[in-house]
Structure 1
C-alpha cells in the first residue's frame, strides 16, 4: 500500500516538476547561449572599436589644426574678428541632483536609428540628442547605426545642418552602415506586420552589434525589441529608449471597433473572424511588448500621451526589474527661439500673411494627407460660393520622402487625389525642403494643420505655434494633450478637429477671425511654444543619459 502511495505521488509530481523545471532549464541554457554569442561579438568587434577610436583621434587632430589656422587668420585680420566661433553653452554640466560632473567620459554611445537621413521629426530628435551629448561629453563617440549606406557622413551632416539648423562636431560622429535594414520595412510583412517588423529589428540589431558593441545602447526609433536582445547579449551594457510612439497601444485596440473611420488605418477592422483574430493577435503582442519594456534601463517619451501608454504597457514589469521605473517626458526639440527671433506677430505683419494652409509632415499614409486634401476641397468650394473677391487660399504640403520606398508611390497618389478633387492648382507639394524654404512658408502662411490620428507629439505643430500660425490639428494624441491647449485660462492656442467636415469648418473659422483675435491667438500660441525649446530638450536629455553613464561606470 505504501509502495502504491509513493508511486502515485511520484506519478503526480513528475509532470508538475517537469512543467516548472524544464522551462527554467531551457531559459537558463538560452541565456547562457546568448551571453556566449555576446562575448564572441565583443571579441570580434574589438579590432573595429580600436580602429574607430583611432580614426576619431585623427579627425579630431585635423579639426583642431584647421580651427587653429582659421583662428590665426581671424586674429591677423583684426580684433573685431576674435569671436569667430562661440561654444554653445546651453547644456549645463550638472547632474540631475545639481552636482557638477566631469567631462572625461570617453565611451561609445550607440544610437540605433536605421533611417537617420529621413529628415523627419524623429531625425531632428536624434541629431539634437547627438549634439547635446557632444556638448556634455566632448570626448564620447556617438555611433549611429544606419541603413543609409548610399550617403556619406559629410552629406548626412550637411543635410542635418540644412534641414534642422543643427551643427554637429563631425569627428566624434561615426556612422556604422547596416546591410539588413530591409527587414524592418513594413512592406516586408503584408501580414502580422507588428510582429514581423519587431522580429526583423532583431536581425538588424544583430547586424549592428556585429559591427560594434557600444558602451551604452540607445534606441531612438522605436525598435524596443533590439534593447531586449542587447540586454541578453551584453548584460553590462546600459540601455535607453526614446519612444516616439508605442508599437501598440490601447487606442489601437479600441480603433478596431470604430465605425467612424477617423481612428487611424485600422479603424473598424475588428468585425468578422479576421477582426477577432486581429484583436487576439494584438492582445498577445501587447503582452510581449510589455515584457520587452522591462529590459530598458532608462525610458524617455516625447509626450504625455506616449508616456501614459508606455507606463501602462511597460510599467508593471519595470517596477520589479529596473531602478529607473517611470518614463520621463522629454519633449522633442523645436527651433522655437529661432522662429521667435525670425518672425514677428503684430498688426503690420498680419497684413503680410496669405490665407494659405501649411502642412509639414513626412509623406506617409499615417500622416493622413488625404483627409486634409478632402477637407481643403470642401472648404474651398464653400469659400468660392461665399466670395470671389477675396484671395483664394492655397494648401502647401511640405514633407520628407524616403527614396526607393513606398513614400514615392504615396505622394503620387496624393497628387492624383488633388487632381480628382479639382484643387490641383491650389495645392503645392514640396519634398525634402530646406530649412530656409520651410521658414519662408512659416512666415507667410496663416494656418498650420496636422491630420494624423494620435500623432505622438507634433513637432510641426509647435513650429506652427512658434511662427505665429493658427493651428488646426487632429483632436487626439500629443497635439491635444500637450500643444494645442487652453493656455493658463487665457484662451485657446488653436483649433482641433477629427473629421473632414470639422477640419473644413475649422479652416473657415480660423481665417474668419477678426484681425485682433487672430493676433491674440497667434501670440498665445507663441508663448505656449516656449515649453518646447531645443535648450529644454538638451537639459532633460543630458539628465537622463547621465543615469546611463553612471550605470556604465559601476
Structure 2
C-alpha cells in the first residue's frame, strides 16, 4: 500500500514535467511520420520544376531587370554571425496563404515576397498553400500580373490545394468566431503539412496558431509571420467599454461590453488574447506591416518571446510607387486633367466602412448648390441643409463624384455591394457614385490619374496600401484618424500636410470640401509632398528588407537541419 501511495505521489509531483515531455515526444513522432509521408511529393515537385526549367529555359536571372543589385544592397545582413546564406540554396519555402487569389493588399505582399525569393534563390522552390482549388496555377499567375503588375517565375512556383479552408471562414462559427477560426487554422495547417512539409514555413495571413503547430511538429523548420493586423488587440478590448458617443467607427463590437453578455465577451476575449500571445511567442521571425501593428504585436507577443529572439520589425508593404510616378504626372499643367472625383480603393468588406464614406459624401453633395441638371431628391433628415454648412467653391458643373473600386471575393461581398447600391439610391446620389468591382490594374491606374482625392474609411487600418497608391499618384488623401494611415502614411512632409484625417461623417465631409477647395498651387504642392512621402514604401525597399529576414531564416534552417536536396 505504501508503495502505491509513494508511486502516486511521485507521479503527481512529476506530472508538470512528464505531461509536457510526453506531449513534445508524441508531437515529434507525429511530425516525423508526416514528413516521411510527404517526401514523395517533395521529389515530384522538384521533378516538375526541373522539367519546366528545361522547357522554358534558364532560371530567373538574379538581376532580371537590372536593379536586383540595388535591392541586395538594401538588405542589411541579419544572418547569424553576419554570414550570407548561399545563393545556391535549394530548399522549399512554404507560404501559408489560404486566400491567395483574393486580390487585396495582403496578396500583393505575398506575391512581391515570392518574387524577391525567386530572385535571391533562383533554384529554391516556393510553395503556396491555398484553398482556391477552383483556380489553376496559370490563372492565378495571370491575375497577379493583371492586378498587381508583378511577374512571377512559374517553374519554381507551385500551389498545393487545401480541402479544409471552410474551417477558417467566419461564417462557420456564428459564436466564438475568433477562437473557432484560430482552432480551424490548426486543421487547415495540418492539411497543408500532410501535403508537404517545407524547409521554411511562412504565414502571410495572420494564422499564428498554424505557426505554433509547425513549431510543435517540426522544431527544425524555421517559422516566420508577416502580420498585417493583430487578430486581437488592446484597442479591441478597450472598444468593448466604449460609450454610446464613442462607438461609431470603432469596430463592429464597440460598446458590446455591457451586461452579463458583455462581461462574458470580455472574459472570452482576454482568454483568447492569452492564447494568441502564447502562439505568437514561438515564431522565429516576426515582421509587421506598420508601426501601429508592431506596437500591438510587441505588447502581445513580446513579453513571452525569448530574450534571444529576433526583434519584431516593421517591413512596410510593397507599393508600385515607381510605376505610378512614371505613369501619372503631377504639375500645374496636369491639374487640368483631374476631375473632382473622390476615389476609394478597398475590398468590399464590412471593416472597410464604405457606408461611412457614402454617407459623408452624401452630406457633402447635399451642401452643394443645386442646378437644374443636378439630380433632385429630398435631403435625408440626417444631412444638414446647405445653410448650416458653408458651400464650397465647387460649382454644379464640376460636381464631385465618388468612385468605389474593390474586389468581390464571394457571395457575402456581392450582397454587401448590393446593399451599398441600395443605400446610394436611398440617399438620392445614385448618379454620383460609381461601383467598379474586380478592376484590372490599367483601370485602377486610369482612375488614380484622373481623380483628385483618395479616401480611406477603415478604423485602425493596419497599414493602407491603397493610401500609399493615392500619395504616389498625387492624390490628396482623406483617411481615418487611426492606425497606419494616420501614423505612417499621411504625415507631415517638409513642414506641410500630405492629406487630411477624419473620423465622423461631418469630419469626412469637411475634409472632402477642404481638399476640393484648395487652389491649384496648394493642390500641386500637397500632391508633390504626398508623392515624396510615398517613396518610403517602394517595392525595392520592401524586397531588401524581406530578403534580409529571409536570409536569417535560411541560415537558421541550414544550422538546424540541412535541406533535403532535390533528386539528381
When normalised by structure 1's length, the TM-score is 0.91
Write the distance in 2 (CA, Å) between the matches of 1:383 and 1:327: 48
1:345 aligns with 2:338: no
Give the secondary structure class of the aligned counterpart of 1:398.
strand
Distance 1:348-1:536 versus aligned 2 partners, 3 A rule: same
Do the aligned residues in 2 keep the contact of 1:399 with 1:430 (CA within 8 Å)? yes
List aligned pairs for 1:268-283, cutoff 5 A: 268-283=255-270
Do the aligned residues in 2 keep the contact of 1:136 with 1:542 (CA within 8 Å)? yes
Write the distance in 2 (CA, Å) between the matches of 1:234 and 1:389: 65
Residue 75 of structure 1 corresponds to none
1:398 aligns with 2:398: no
Write the distance in 2 (CA, Å) between the matches of 1:543 and 1:206: 29
Residue 120 of structure 1 corresponds to 104
Task: Decide which of 26, 31, 39 is 2:19's aligned counterpart.
Answer: 26
Residue 499 of structure 1 corresponds to 504
> How big is the shift at 1:362?
0.5
Residue 515 of structure 1 corresponds to 520
1:257 aligns with 2:241: yes
Task: Decide which of 179, 199, 203 is 1:219's aligned counterpart.
Answer: 203
State the Cα deviation string for residues 253-285 of structure 1 (Å, max 9, x = none).
111122322211111111111111111111111
Over the residues paired in the alignment, what is the CA RMSD in angstroms?
2.1
Distance 1:298-1:362 versus aligned 2 partners, 3 A rule: same
Distance 1:19-1:469 versus aligned 2 partners, 3 A rule: farther
Residue 545 of structure 1 corresponds to 550
Q: Where does the alignment leave 5 or more consecutive residues of structure 2 unmatched?
A: 370-385, 560-568
Write the distance in 2 (CA, Å) between the matches of 1:65 and 1:529: 35
Residue 96 of structure 1 corresponds to 77
Give the secondary structure class of the aligned counterpart of 1:110.
strand
Most deviating of 458-467 and 500-509: 500-509
Do the aligned residues in 2 keep the contact of 1:91 with 1:136 (CA within 8 Å)? no
Residue 72 of structure 1 corresponds to none
Residue 452 of structure 1 corresponds to 458
Do the aligned residues in 1 keep the contact of 2:77 with 2:84 (CA within 8 Å)? no
Write the distance in 1 (CA, Å) between the matches of 2:249 and 2:435: 24
Do the aligned residues in 2 keep the contact of 1:306 with 1:456 (CA within 8 Å)? yes
Residue 273 of structure 2 corresponds to 286
Write the distance in 2 (CA, Å) between the matches of 1:183 and 1:91: 38
Write the distance in 1 (CA, Å) between the matches of 2:59 and 2:221: 36
Residue 267 of structure 1 corresponds to 254
> How big is the shift at 1:410?
1.4
Write the distance in 2 (CA, Å) between the matches of 1:379 and 1:276: 40
Distance 1:456-1:19 versus aligned 2 partners, 3 A rule: farther
Write the distance in 1 (CA, Å) between the matches of 2:430 and 2:396: 21
Do the aligned residues in 2 keep the contact of 1:343 with 1:443 (CA within 8 Å)? yes
State the Cα deviation string for residues 410-459 of structure 1 (Å, max 9, x = none).
11111111111111111111111111000000000000000100000000
1:356 aligns with 2:341: yes
Do the aligned residues in 2 keep the contact of 1:301 with 1:327 (CA within 8 Å)? yes
Do the aligned residues in 1 keep the contact of 2:348 with 2:408 (CA within 8 Å)? yes
Write the distance in 1 (CA, Å) between the matches of 2:180 and 2:152: 35
List aligned pairs for 1:156-175, cutoff 5 A: 156-175=140-159
> How big is the shift at 1:389?
3.7
Write the distance in 2 (CA, Å) between the matches of 1:67 and 1:200: 37
State the Cα deviation string for residues 373-420 of structure 1 (Å, max 9, x = none).
1111111101235475441111100011113x4212211111111111
1:532 aligns with 2:521: no
Give the secondary structure class of the aligned counterpart of 1:383.
coil
Give the secondary structure class of the aligned counterpart of 1:92.
helix
Write the distance in 2 (CA, Å) between the matches of 1:86 and 1:168: 13
Do the aligned residues in 1 keep the contact of 2:60 with 2:153 (CA within 8 Å)? no
> How big is the shift at 1:100?
5.6
1:234 aligns with 2:218: yes
Write the distance in 1 (CA, Å) between the matches of 2:159 and 2:319: 24
Q: Where does the alignment leave 5 or more consecutive residues of structure 1 unmatched?
A: 1-5, 69-84
Write the distance in 2 (CA, Å) between the matches of 1:67 and 1:251: 44
Write the distance in 2 (CA, Å) between the matches of 1:24 and 1:180: 34
Give the secondary structure class of the aligned counterpart of 1:319.
coil
Distance 1:18-1:257 versus aligned 2 partners, 3 A rule: farther
Residue 487 of structure 1 corresponds to 493
Give the secondary structure class of the aligned counterpart of 1:221.
coil
Do the aligned residues in 1 keep the contact of 2:346 with 2:406 (CA within 8 Å)? yes
Distance 1:44-1:14 versus aligned 2 partners, 3 A rule: closer
Most deviating of 90-99 and 203-212: 90-99
List aligned pairs for 1:51-200, cutoff 5 A: 51-64=44-57, 86=65, 88-89=67-68, 90-92=70-72, 96=77, 101-200=85-184
Give the secondary structure class of the aligned counterpart of 1:412.
helix
> How big is the shift at 1:23?
3.8
Write the distance in 2 (CA, Å) between the matches of 1:52 and 1:549: 20
Write the distance in 2 (CA, Å) between the matches of 1:389 and 1:456: 37
Distance 1:24-1:434 versus aligned 2 partners, 3 A rule: same
Give the secondary structure class of the aligned counterpart of 1:351.
helix
List aligned pairs for 1:291-330, cutoff 5 A: 291-320=278-307, 323-324=309-310, 326-330=311-315
Distance 1:337-1:383 versus aligned 2 partners, 3 A rule: same
Distance 1:21-1:66 versus aligned 2 partners, 3 A rule: closer
When normalised by structure 2's length, the TM-score is 0.89
Write the distance in 2 (CA, Å) between the matches of 1:350 and 1:452: 28
State the Cα deviation string for residues 162-189 of structure 1 (Å, max 9, x = none).
1001001110000000001111111111
Write the distance in 1 (CA, Å) between the matches of 2:261 and 2:58: 65
1:365 aligns with 2:360: no
Most deviating of 308-317 and 99-108: 99-108
